[in-house]
Amino acid sequence: MRAFAALAILSLLPGVCLAGNKLTFDDRVELTRGLMAEYGVLKQGLPHAKSALAFDAASGIDKNQWAKAAMEDGLAARPGATVQVTKVEIGEDRIVLQIDGGYNGGRKWYRNATIAAGPSSSPDPTRIGDGVDDNAPFGTSIAILFHKPLEPIKSADIKKMLAPLLDFDKHSVTEIYVDTLSPELQAAVKTNHALVGMDREQVKLALGIPAHKERQTEDGVELEYWTYGEAPGKFTFVTFKGDKAIAVKEEYAGLGTQVNDPPPPK
């Protein structure tokens, strides 16, 4: 009886946690191994924030903080994009997941470069922080807040907790996003065709990573050109204004044939 009484008293004392409720070394190892280097597909935009974005273990994202971060620094990645957990930090009452290298982790030298075939190609310093570059996305961090000392928990539980934000099921990375598109866009993506009006993520889903990118300013309007294909065979040229494709052209090497905005085959 005295032993039970002593345990009851200890459990009531502030700052004292019974050994059975503590996060053990093995728990920490399992969390780190189960989350580190995992890929997930975003179900909503992920802000690029200097401070870790708050994610309440019980209620989810802090919408005000996330909206403010998105307005100040833009998005690290758009809905439907695949991101990676690059670091796991386990604190007393929180688990912090670094995404794509953290705040500065995604910045590469070619993020600010204008790629062109001519001798005038050179880095453009005005492009720092101009939005999401699909080749070098900015990273960020997410702090999962428990508001109490961490108790034993598995990586699978964390993934389930983050389900409203991230889907870690690798087999559904494409399907989750494609299912949200219009029937016309779904058909285009599934048959590997780009259409006018698509954004960069949708074009990448349909055609993959372009073989070449080029940015030019014409009559004060900035355009970006993506090129797919290699000779001999079909080339696809996609022109972007802002985030939207404004022209799609197909040409066949050596045949002199081209098609504007080709519809997906039925």
Question: Can you name the residues that pair with 167 across neighbouring β-strands?
Answer: 41
Question: Which of 18-27, 190-199, 221-230 is least confident?
Answer: 18-27
Question: Which of 119-123, 167-171, 174-178 is least confident?
Answer: 119-123
Cα(84)–Cα(107) distance, integer angstroms: 15
Residue holding tokens 């889903």? 205
pLDDT of residue 150: 94
pLDDT of residue 174: 57
Cα(126)–Cα(112) distance, integer angstroms: 8
Question: Which of 24-38, 137-151, 239-253 is least confident?
Answer: 24-38
User: What mean pLDDT value characterizes the chain?
Assistant: 76
Q: Tens digit of pLDDT for each residue in 62-74? A: 888 899 989 988 8
The CATH code of domain 181-260 reads: 3.30.1450.10
The domain segmentation of the chain, as residue ranges, is: 18-177, 181-260
Tokens of 253: 């090497």
pLDDT of 40 higher than 80:
yes
